[in-house]
Structure 1
Amino acid sequence: MEESTVTLSVPGNDLMPGLVGQRDELLRQVEGAFPGAAINVRGNEITIDGDNAETVRRVFDEMVLMLERGLSIDSLTLERAIDMVRADESPSEVLTTEILRTARNKPVRPRSAGQKRYVEAVADGIVTFAIGPAGTGKSWLAVAMAIRAMKADLVDRIVLTRPLVEAGERVGFLPGDLMAKVDPYLRPLYDALFDMLDAEHAQRLLDRGQVEVAPLAFMRGRTLNNSFIILDEAQNTTPEQMKMFLTRVGFGSRVVVTGDISQVDVPDGRSGLEGLESMLTGINGLSFVRLGARDVVRHRIVQDIVEAYDRADSRSVDRPS
C-alpha cells in the first residue's frame, strides 16, 4: 500500500469549482473511494496524504484534463473516471471522445476504454464484431457511428437488421400482420435512431429509404453497396443466416455485428456467432471487440450482476465433469 504526501497545483482560477463540485460533493466522493487518503484543498492546491496518494493525484490530474477539454464532471462521470484510473486507463482520453451530438445537442461518447476500442475499430475497419453482455453500448454506439458516417457522406444508406427469433418466440405465432409482428423485435433499433435524430428527420430518412429497419430475412438475395449495415442480436442467427448476411456486403459498405453469446435463443442452440472469431481472424479489415462487465453503462447493479454471472460461468467451466 502506497503511503505518501503529494501536492497538485490546479492551473487557473476556473477549474477548482468543477473539481470539488457543488458543496464539495465530488471531493467527498473521491475521499469515499479512497478512505485511506486525506485530501485538503487550499487555494489552487490540493494536498493528498496517506494511502493511495499517488492514485488519488492521478484521479485529480485526469479530472483537470477532462475539464480543460470541456467535459462537465458529475457523480457518474467521476465514478467511471476512478474505475479507469484504478485499471491504469485514461478517462480523459476515453470520456472526452465525441462521436456526434444528438438533435438535443447531447454528446454521444464512449463511456469505457472497451467502448472506445470498439468505436475505433468501427471507424478503421470494414467489418466489426462486438461481443458482450447487455448494457455495454454495442447497438447504441453502432447506430451512432452509422449516423456519423452518413452525415460525413461516407455512406448513402443505413440498414439496421435483427433476426426474428428471440426469447423462444417465433414470428409465425405472434398476432397481427407482418409489420406488427416484427415491430417488437426491431423497436430497440428504432429507439436508438430516434434518440439521436429528431423525430421528423428520422422519419424523413425512413420514408426516403436512406434508413432501413428490417428483419434479417429481408437481406437475402441483396448486395448492399455504400451502406452502413448493423446486424443486432447476432447470437440468434443460424450459421447459414450469418454466412448469408456477411456475403451481402458490397463496395463502399461498412458492417457492424453485435451479439451476446450467453443469450442464444436459436431453437437448436447453434448460433451463427459461435466459432466465427477463430475462423475469420486474420482477414484484413475485419476485427472482433470483446466487451465485458467493466463496459456496462447501465445502473451499477447491472455491472455487479454481469460479474456474478461471469464468475458462475467460470466455475462451471473449471468444475471437473
Structure 2
Amino acid sequence: MTTRPTTDPDQTFRASLDLSNAFAGQIRSAGAEVLARLVPELAPYHATLHLTGNRLDLAGDEAAVQMLQEVVQTAAEASQDGASPDHIWAADAIAASLRQALERGLAFRVPGLRNAVRPKTVMQHAFMSALLAKSPPVVIGAGPTGTGKTHLALAAGLNLLEDGKFRHLVIARPHVFERGEVVTAQTRTDTAYDGQFAAIEDELTDLVGPEELKRLQEARRLEIMPVGRMRGRTFQNAYVIVDEAQNMNIQRTRMAVTRLGQNSRIVLTGDPSHVELKDEGPSGLAHLIDLVEGSDIARVFHFSAAQIVRDPVVATLEALYAQDNASGPA
C-alpha cells in the first residue's frame, strides 16, 4: 500500500492509498456504507473517502486524513491475515485503530511541558489543536467531567507561554458554595483563594513540576485567581482560562469574557449539565454558547460521556446520571 499526500491552497489535505486487488475488492463487496461508517468517528473533523478501482482517495482536515490512513492500513493488514470484513470494520476495531493513530503520530510534542500531550480521543485532538491555534479569540470546551478539557487547556496555555506567544497565563475559577458553608464578604464577591484551587494546582504541578510552577508564579507570568478578582482588570497579551465556567451566572460570565485586552485569548471549560449556582440565576456558560457558537469569534467543542477518559467507571456513572436527569421525577 502506497500513500501520496498533498495539500490544496484551500488547506484541504488529500491522500491516495493504492490498495491490493483483494482488499479493494473486499471494500467494494462490503458496500459504500463501510467507508461511510468511518466519517462520523472523526467528528468534529471532516473527511471524505472515494474508491476508484484500487485507489482510495481521502480528503479533508489533515488530522482526519491521517487517522483514516491508519484505519485503512490496519484494516488492510488484518485482511491479509485472513480476518473477515465484519471483524475488520466492526465499531470496536475502528475505535482501536483511531486510538493507535492518536498515540503514534498525532501526539503534541510541545515546549514548556515535561511530557508530550497524547490525546486519547478525536475530540481531544481537535480541542488541543484549536487551543494552540492563533484564532479565534474565544474557545469553549463543554461537557462532562473526565473528558480532559481542563488538562488540555492548561497544557496549551503553558506551551504558548513558553513559546512567547503570550506574556501571561491567567487561570480563574468561580467559588462553589458547599452545603452549610458560611457566606463571607469574600466568598460572596468570589475573591477568596481557597482549597477549591487544589485541582488546578495539581494539574499544573503534573505538567511542569513544582519548581517551574513556583518560578512562573514568582515572575508573575502565571496567575491563579478567583473569578471575582478579574473584575476591573484588562488582560493584555494574556492567555486566560476560566475553569468550571458553568458555575458563573450570566452577569459574571459577561464580566469575565470582556476582560480581554490586545493580543489575548480566553478559554472556558465546564459542564452545562452540572451547575452549582446558589440562587444567582441561570448559568452563563450555556447562555454564552448560544450567543457565540457558529460565529467567527469563537469555537465551541461539545464533549460527551462517551469521550470520558478518566476511568470507565466515571463514564458509566455520568451516563447513569444523565439518564436519570432526562427521565425526571415520576
TM-score by length of 1: 0.68
Q: Which residue of 1 aligns with 2:232?
A: 221
Matched, 1:118 2:130: no
Q: 2:306 aligns with which of 265, 273, 294?
A: 294
- Deviation digits for residues 71-102 of structure 1 (CA, Å, limit 9, x no counterpart): xxxxxxxxxxx758249x83344334333469
Q: Percent identity?
A: 27
Matched, 1:188 2:196: no
Q: Which residue of 1 aligns with 2:271?
A: 260
Distance in 1, matches of 2:137 and 2:258, equals 13
Distance 1:174 1:304, change over 3 A: farther
What pairs up with 1:128-207 in 2 under 5 angstroms? 128-168=139-179, 172=183, 182-207=193-218
Structure 2 unaligned residues grouped into runs of 5+: 1-21, 24-77
Indicate conservation of the 8 Å contact 2:237/2:264, yes or no. yes
Indicate conservation of the 8 Å contact 2:170/2:240, yes or no. yes
Indicate conservation of the 8 Å contact 2:114/2:208, yes or no. no
Deviation at 1:250, TM superposition (A): 1.1
SS at match of 1:257: strand
Distance 1:171 1:202, change over 3 A: farther
Matched, 1:85 2:94: yes
Indicate conservation of the 8 Å contact 1:164/1:170, yes or no. no
Distance in 2, matches of 1:312 and 1:169, equals 26
Indicate conservation of the 8 Å contact 1:166/1:236, yes or no. no
Structure 1 unaligned residues grouped into runs of 5+: 7-43, 57-81
Q: Which residue of 1 aligns with 2:81?
A: 47
Indicate conservation of the 8 Å contact 1:164/1:171, yes or no. no
- Deviation digits for residues 28-76 of structure 1 (CA, Å, limit 9, x no counterpart): xxxxxxxxxxxxxxxx9962444733237xxxxxxxxxxxxxxxxxxxx
Q: Which amino acid aligns with 2:102?
A: V
- Deviation digits for residues 174-196 of structure 1 (CA, Å, limit 9, x no counterpart): 99xx9996331111111111111
Q: 2:247 aligns with which of 226, 236, 243?
A: 236
TM-score by length of 2: 0.66
Q: Which residue of 2 aligns with 1:313?
A: 325
Indicate conservation of the 8 Å contact 2:111/2:163, yes or no. no
The number of residues matched between the two structures is 250
Q: Report the aligned-residue RMSD.
A: 3.4
Indicate conservation of the 8 Å contact 2:177/2:278, yes or no. no
Q: Which residue of 2 aligns with 1:63?
A: none
SS at match of 2:286: coil
Distance in 2, matches of 1:244 and 1:181, equals 17
Matched, 1:284 2:318: no
Indicate conservation of the 8 Å contact 1:165/1:171, yes or no. no
Matched, 1:210 2:221: yes
